[in-house]
Amino acid sequence: MEVSLFIFNFNAVMIKKLFSNLIILSLIVFFLDFSLGRLLRYYYFKETSGLHYRTTYSIDSTKANILIFGSSRANHHYVPEVFKDELNMSYYNTGRDGNAIFYQVALLKSILMRHNPRIILLDYAGGFEKGPEYYDRLSSILPYYRSHKEMRSTIELKSPFERIKLLSEIYPFNSKMLTIIAGNFEKNKSRNADEEGYVPLYDIWNERIESITPEKKYNIDSIKVKAFDEFLILAKKSGAKVYVVYSPIFLKMKHSKEIEICNEVCKLENVPFWDYSKDTIFLNNNQFFYDIQHLNDSGAKVFSKIICNQINTQIN
């Protein structure tokens, strides 16, 4: 018998049908999400090469004495051979393309839970400007949310709903499926080769650029600056020697707000900051660049040597 629910104009049969179908749908989605998500998780942590593997290795395994942090510029600018030869210490490069300060803070927090490096070098490529990009990029460490409590506060900066979204098993692996598959193949090791995290770039930048147009207005994101400060405090607390480097860029930038802020924070925390953005060895030197932002392997070798000499002077 249909029971009419007075003022709402509903009838009980319809409501029952609606809810029973919604429950069935939720159960199917839950089942698929759970099984596929678990499968992706399993294979994600089984990867033996590539981007994901390097992040996992940085977080869970590296015991290197020299740790390089940063984005793609860190990843391509510091050659392990040079560092190991010049400083006689083990080396690992945790830099990852497109990831900025939040990623680096989260990684450092995790690494310091189990290991204290002797030298921490942060390649700072800017990114204090307001905008969602670097928050969105935190998706690269979502797979570690569950197993690494220390990362959670940083990951939750991504959005206020991150905790709810992470109830889904698939969500942390969104858009990562093909990279996970590739990372589980032996062939990927040669296709995506790295030397202790460092990924060399071999081409030469053949074009010329007159100037980089400066941003009209620079809106500083205080959360990003705070994260940068947090990184320095944590790194110092670990007892490591901490250095911040602004590595070379193909041409002189017209605005230097980024560098200004970086300098101020480093001064405040008493951390050496070396700015190579105006170094004449590199400026407009095509032979050393892969593109306007990244040194090629030759450039990286020269630059690594310079940095090692500077570190040696500091240590001794």
Residues that bind another protein (CB under 8 A): 7-10, 14, 17-18, 21, 24-25, 28-29, 32-33, 36, 132-133, 136, 139, 159, 161, 164-165, 168, 170-171, 173-175, 177-179, 207, 217
DSSP structure class, residue 25: H
CA nearest to 230, candidates 153, 292, 307: 153
Please, what is the minimum distance in Å from the beta carbon of residue 101 to another protein? 17
Distance in angstroms (rounded) separating the CA atoms of residues 83 and 93: 11
Taking the least distance from each CB to another protein, the nearer of 1 and 178 is: 178
3-state class (DSSP) for residue 294: coil
Whichever of 234 and 251 has its CB closer to another protein, that residue is 251
Give min distance, CB of 285 to another protein, in A: 20
Q: State the nearest-atom distance from the C-beta of 132 to another protein, in Å.
A: 6
| DSSP-derived 3-state class of residue 198 | strand
Cβ 144 to another protein shortest distance, Å: 17
Nearer to another protein, 28 or 268 (CB): 28
Question: For residues 104 and 179, which CB has a smaller minimum distance to another protein in the complex?
Answer: 179
Other C-beta atoms within 10 Å of 182: how many?
A: 17
We find the least distance from the C-beta atom of residue 133 to another protein, in angstroms, to be 7
Among residues 274, 305, 224, which one has the least CA distance to residue 121? 274
The minimum distance between CB 275 and another protein, in angstroms, equals: 27
Min CB(135)–another protein separation in Å? 8
Q: DSSP letters of 143-160? A: GGTTT-GGGHHHHTTS-T
Q: Tokens 């029973």 sit at which residue? A: 20
156/275 with CB nearer another protein: 156
State the Cα–Cα distance between residues 74 and 97, nearest whole angstrom: 9
25's tokens: 């749908």
Nearer to another protein, 22 or 315 (CB): 22
Cα–Cα dist 314/250, whole Å? 27
- Ordered alpha helix ranges (H), 121-221: 133-136, 152-155, 162-165, 177-183, 187-191
Structure tokens at 104: 């680096």
Q: How many CB atoms lie within 10 A of CB 291?
A: 15
The number of helices, as runs of H, and strands, as runs of E, in the chain is 13, 7
**Looking at beta carbons only, is 92 or 290 nearer to another protein?**
290
CB of 29 to another protein, least distance (A): 5
The nearer residue to another protein, 1 or 88, going by C-beta atoms, is 1
Among residues 9, 24, 111, 25, the alpha carbon closest in space to that of 68 is found at 111
